[in-house]
């Protein structure tokens, strides 16, 4: 609990209206989209960099933990304030400050929502490509802090590849600007990239300069149905090995297809696995690419290949794909879908091996899992369906998760392709990055000597992952 004096000082900085102390609100601010929860102690909603700087100075002076927060959609516990302190909600800082399409950049405040930004950019004929599944709500600050990406990363890269410059409030309260507004930059350490993926542990991002891409003239989408998941996985590497780079290449297994068909009446082909492939370019290029993709998919074993160029039909397919997470959540009556090993990335040629191995591990422990993801870039999601009140289920799931990560690392992969580390993946990231952990800790100690920024996350998480659960474990 924070003292009355601290609350009063916070009110002086941002105004009474923008300091949240109501217990019901603090309970809600204790969630993100992960399995974890802890009530917030206080939430402040600043409107300017100067206000953020004053809040951080206050916290640093009194050694109070700080947790920056965007929309709270993080999947590994990044936005859960496990050590309490001050949550800084950046959603009031939501202005697009400058659009310079002739210079290929846009400058935004951190609270701008991804989909809103692209709506604003569309009339200019440009876009910011990463396309996370949470596009309609997640903020640019949150995307930078987690290095978010999504279905277009294969062709266009992740958020990291678009961050040209940042304004950051350091843990001392000092405001620094890093990076440039030029396409090229070899001017010293690229510190702006260090803050990408820092998950609120190094400072508060208060302004972002993002590179833009021109919108393609046309898009089309192909759906291919397979009799085995391995064949679908093989189809992914066959497309890439043919020298073709689609703008999106997604995989969904039978569990995800069934869940989405029931939840949304999506009408996806019910089979062992589907691939959804997006091609883009000028009309003639799209036509040629559709033929090429269909040929590769059929050679890979697809028993049905269909395509559409109708924007409404494409939107229907992408909305079915985006519905996987909510559809799995309501799939079973007692079981819910939880994010545990939800974000592995393997080299593209290992996708088929990975999906088969994940399914085997789940089976060994008696779990149903849904497997889906951005298979074109090797990024796979698994969602466990379990009884969240059962301690036994959590214990078994933790064992299965360890095995999934071991297989992933053996295949040359990483424990997180896009959702980040925080709590749920910390022990496994520490295993993967053992040789650089001391350096990561030194960087943190230099930038944040009082350890106030989102403490005890990532390299500093010392426990197992079944901690601070949002579920009433053990209760009937």
Shortest distance, CB of residue 367 to ligand FAD, whole angstroms? 21
Shortest distance, CB of residue 78 to ligand FAD, whole angstroms? 3
Within residues 77-96, the interface with ligand FAD by CB under 6 A covers 78-79, 90
CA distance 391 to 85: 29
CA distance 150 to 153: 6
199 binds ligand FAD (CB under 6 A): yes
Shortest distance, CB of residue 136 to ligand FAD, whole angstroms? 9
First to last CA, the chain: 31
Give the distance, in angstroms, between the CA of residue 192 and the centroid of all CA atoms in the same chain. 19
**Residue listed under structure tokens 């992969």:** 413
Shortest distance, CB of residue 111 to ligand FAD, whole angstroms? 8
Within residues 395-434, the interface with ligand FAD by CB under 6 A covers 418-419
Instruction: Choose, by CB under 6 A, the member of 20, 32, 171, 377 that binds ligand FAD.
Output: 32
List phi, psi (to 5°) of 29.
-70, -5
Shortest distance, CB of residue 161 to ligand FAD, whole angstroms? 13
Q: What is the DSSP letter of 399?
A: H
Shortest distance, CB of residue 195 to ligand FAD, whole angstroms? 8
Strand segments, DSSP code E, in 180-317 are: 204-211, 213-214, 218-226, 248-253, 273-281, 304-308
CA distance 381 to 144: 20
CA distance 144 to 141: 5
Which residue lies nearer to ligand FAD by CB, 280 or 343? 343
179 binds ligand FAD (CB under 6 A): no
Sorted by sequence, the CB contacts under 8 Å of residue 100 that are 6+ apart come out as: 106, 107, 181
Shortest distance, CB of residue 418 to ligand FAD, whole angstroms? 3
Which residue lies nearer to ligand FAD by CB, 109 or 222? 109
CA distance 91 to 52: 12
Shortest distance, CB of residue 90 to ligand FAD, whole angstroms? 4
List phi, psi (to 5°) of 175.
-100, 125
Which residue lies nearer to ligand FAD by CB, 176 or 241? 176
As given in the structure block, the two tokens for residue 72 are 């709270």
Within residues 138-157, the interface with ligand FAD by CB under 6 A covers 138-139, 141-143, 145-146, 148-150
With contacts defined by CB under 6 A, how many residues of the chain interact with ligand FAD? 36
Burial per residue of 281-302, b for 16 or more beta-carbon CB atoms within 10 angstroms, e otherwise: beeeebeebbebbbebbeebbb
Within residues 354-393, the interface with ligand FAD by CB under 6 A covers none
133 binds ligand FAD (CB under 6 A): yes
Mask 448-467, x = binds ligand FAD (CB under 6 A)? ------x-------------
Which residue lies nearer to ligand FAD by CB, 246 or 302? 246
**Residue listed under structure tokens 């109708």:** 310
Q: Residues in the site for ligand FAD, rule: CB under 6 A? A: 32-33, 67-75, 78-79, 90, 110, 132-134, 138-139, 141-143, 145-146, 148-150, 199-200, 204-205, 325, 418-419, 454
């Amino acid at each position: 609990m924070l003292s009355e004096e601290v609350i009063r000082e916070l009110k002086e900085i941002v105004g009474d209206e923008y300091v949240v102390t109501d217990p019901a609100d603090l309970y809600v601010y204790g969630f993100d989209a992960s399995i974890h929860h802890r009530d917030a102690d206080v939430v402040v909603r600043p409107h300017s960099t100067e206000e953020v700087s004053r809040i951080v100075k206050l916290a640093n002076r009194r050694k109070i933990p700080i947790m920056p927060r965007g929309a709270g959609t993080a999947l590994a516990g990044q936005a859960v304030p496990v050590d309490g302190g001050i949550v800084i909600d950046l959603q009031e800082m939501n202005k697009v400050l400058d659009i310079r399409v002739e210079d290929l950049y846009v400058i935004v405040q951190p609270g701008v929502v991804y989909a809103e930004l692209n709506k604003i950019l569309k009339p200019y004929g440009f876009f910011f490509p990463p396309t996370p599944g949470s596009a309609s709500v997640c903020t640019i600050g949150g995307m930078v802090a987690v290095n978010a990406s999504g279905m277009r990363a294969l062709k266009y890269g992740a958020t990291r590849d678009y961050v040209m410059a940042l304004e950051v409030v350091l843990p001392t309260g000092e405001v620094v600007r890093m990076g440039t507004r030029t396409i090229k930059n070899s001017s010293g350490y690229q510190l702006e990239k260090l803050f990408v993926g820092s998950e609120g542990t190094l400072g508060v991002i208060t302004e972002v300069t993002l590179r833009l891409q021109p919108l393609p003239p046309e898009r089309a989408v192909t759906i291919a149905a397979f009799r085995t998941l391995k064949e679908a996985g093989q189809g992914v590497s066959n497309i890439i090995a043919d020298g073709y780079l689609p703008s999106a290449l997604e995989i969904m297994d039978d569990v995800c297809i069934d869940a989405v068909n029931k939840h949304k009446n999506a009408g996806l082909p019910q089979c062992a696995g589907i691939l959804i492939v997006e091609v883009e370019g000028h009309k003639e290029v799209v036509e040629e690419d559709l033929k090429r993709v269909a040929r590769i998919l059929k050679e890979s074993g697809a028993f049905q290949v269909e395509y559409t160029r109708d924007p409404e039909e494409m939107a229907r397919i992408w909305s079915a794909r985006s519905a996987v997470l909510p559809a799995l959540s309501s799939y079973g009556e007692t079981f819910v879908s939880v994010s545990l090993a939800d974000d592995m990335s393997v080299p593209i040629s290992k996708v088929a091996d990975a999906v088969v191995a994940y399914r085997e591990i789940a089976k060994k422990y008696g779990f149903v899992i849904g497997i889906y993801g951005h298979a074109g870039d090797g990024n796979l999601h698994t969602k466990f369906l379990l009884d969240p009140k059962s301690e036994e289920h959590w214990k078994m799931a933790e064992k299965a998760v360890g095995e999934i990560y071991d297989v992933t690392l053996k295949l040359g992969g990483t424990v997180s392709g896009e959702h980040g580390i925080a709590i749920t993946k910390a022990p496994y990231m520490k295993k993967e990055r053992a040789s650089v952990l001391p350096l990561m800790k030194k960087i943190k100690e230099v930038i944040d000597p009082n350890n106030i920024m989102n403490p005890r996350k990532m390299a500093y998480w010392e426990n197992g992952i079944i901690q601070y659960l949002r579920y009433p474990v053990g209760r009937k």
